[in-house]
A and B are shown apart, each in its own frame.
Chain A
């Protein structure tokens, strides 16, 4: 008998909700692991975090975490998170989203949240496919990849999500794959410590749908694919567009300090009311 080893992060989970709904070999567990490890590396108090998500496989992550969480409508996690963070700027708000939720139906909210540079840490689990609905093509699916709604291979050009969020004005952006757990932990940590919009894209394996449709039926074969097709950003910057076409560029895309949205709201309040900021509350008469 092999001794059962308990995850050191079980204490953060709602054990009464287990087992979870994720497929064997899914990347969500690895991203959760990286998230908890990163969180422990910051000064953030676990009791002060609130998690927000939309609809999709990765959006189910917050519901398993023993914290306040909003599992919202498809694509709208960022507007809900914006209201939550502006309403109470003292909360540490973390958003889990995916390529369908964040880049397709929620694409407009993504660029606007980045433009505002609101202090949210967004972890985008990009598995290049719609998993929850059974394997449809997504706006990040590589050109030529197969899905139930792209039976002849996708002809569309995928979004370069991290570049998009940099261009929209975020303070911190990084992209890794699930085969770079250490770098991922480090970037989530940096994102959590950023006073501004932090976007960490994780390209993950979905053996159940992406893999099965694209001749990589196991998680390990998908790892191989992710590893072979990743190029570090420093190296990629020196390569021609043809050389990096269809490659996953990994690394840090931006790390800059810019004015933050809720700080500006608070500053405006103090300047206009000429009094120190008072908490917004529905629980007392104001």
Chain B
């Protein structure tokens, strides 16, 4: 028997974090994510966890990395402006291979923008926001249930690949109340201690899968962690082109070469479809209604919902681009992930964007009109 709840999206996220084993939260109040911090300030002490309200988001991201090396699973929740401030320390987490989870409840932007309105304006910010080459993992929930599930999955992926993982929610999902259930068997990935003795252990020597095992501070491994380019020992080696290229390529490859194990998507009615609506996060909700209506009217329309915008599901996209004539991308921005769709689809399909900003979700009839416009019916 699973437990059922009627929950706010942000509260479901906090619940998911506790189930995933999160025992450290550092954050700074920001709309529309604050309920996550509030829920964890209340719940973490009950499970021997620690909640720290930091002085700003830069400090929050730093504290997450410190807590992660103390041996605890750590998370923060923020929105666009907070992500902007965290970027430098997120890059630090990438190069030092520190598992952390960052919840982004997106709001209208740029700048202070629309704090209480929904958007998906940070998709490229989490992809490219910190300086340098790296491969982020990002999950985009479209419901309260998924906000819970994807938060747990984010912790599991962070531990598995030792990197920051983003949950790209939005105001609509964060502030929506829905029924959700907590299954009995939740899969939780624990951190793996190195098998070697401290004398034989090289902290940044990766096994074949690309991700080294990680001890905690105080375990006797005496690891030297630095944001400088480092060798397998962890020692700075900044003027050697080979060391840098090996390190950064490995950090990217550990994600890219495991792409098929990370990516997740949901395909509906695609088999015979000549037009496929592509969504991630909130817009999926209206897209689903629109696709159903289109089918009722006899139009061959399918839906592809991307659960992991990063890494982008290239293989699946290539497949549907070859099959369909038209791909319609719905986003709560003026076009971000559509560039990825165009990159993969090349000339195999016509890519159309229906980007909507201002905070209102796409309406099913608007989508249907767009579908008919493309199909010329």
Contact = CB atoms under 8 A, between A and B. Distances in A.
Contacts of A66: 222
26 contacts: A62-B224, A63-B226, A70-B69, A71-B224, A72-B65, A72-B92, A72-B227, A79-B55, A79-B59, A80-B62, A80-B66, A82-B62, A83-B26, A83-B63, A83-B68, A84-B69, A84-B70, A87-B23, A87-B67, A279-B71, A281-B23, A282-B68, A282-B71, A282-B99, A282-B191, A286-B21
Nearest to B26: A83
Contacts of B49: 269, 280
Interface residues of A, number: 51
Q: Which 6 A-B pairs have the closest CB atoms?
A: A87-B70, A83-B66, A79-B62, A83-B63, A79-B59, A83-B67
Interface of A: 14, 16-17, 47-48, 50, 52, 62-63, 66-73, 76, 78-88, 90-91, 108-109, 112, 265, 268-269, 271-273, 275, 277-286
B247 interface: no
* Candidate in A52, A71, A84 with the most chain B CB atoms within 10 angstroms: A84
Given A79-B54, A285-B190, A71 B71 contact: no
Given A82-B52, A269-B49, A283-B216, 6 more contacts: A71-B227, A73-B62, A86-B67, A269-B45, A277-B48, A283-B71
A71 B218 contact: no
B47 interface: yes
Contacts of B26: 79, 82-83
Nearest to A110: B55
Contacts, number: 184
B72 A88 contact: yes
B228 interface: yes
A88 B49 CA distance: 11
Given A83-B67, A87-B67, A76 B217 contact: no
Contact of A63 (B68, B92, B236): B236
A284 B190 contact: yes
A258 to B, nearest CB: 18
A273 B193 contact: no
Interface string B65-87: 11111111110000000000000
Nearest to B99: A282
Contact of B227 (A48, A73, A79, A282): A73
B50 A86 contact: yes
Contacts of A108: 55-56, 59
Contacts of B224: 14, 62-63, 68-69, 71
B71 A278 contact: no
B40 to A, nearest CB: 13
Nearest to B219: A68
Interface residues of B, number: 56
Contacts of B89: 72-73, 76
A72 B58 CA distance: 12
Given A90-B218, A282-B73, A84 B66 contact: yes
B94 to A, nearest CB: 12
Contacts of B221: 68
Contacts of A79: 26, 54-55, 58-63, 66
A17 to B, nearest CB: 6
A81 B58 CA distance: 13
B132 interface: no
A83 B53 CA distance: 11
B149 interface: no
A76 B62 contact: yes
Contacts of A282: 21, 68, 71-73, 99, 159, 190-191, 216
Given A281-B72, A282-B21, A76 B46 contact: no
Nearest to B63: A83
Contacts of B188: 285
A250 B322 CA distance: 75
A16 B234 CA distance: 12
A109 B222 contact: no
Interface string B19-50: 00101101000000000000000000111111
Contacts of B58: 76, 79
B241 interface: no
A16 B74 CA distance: 33
Contacts of A78: 59
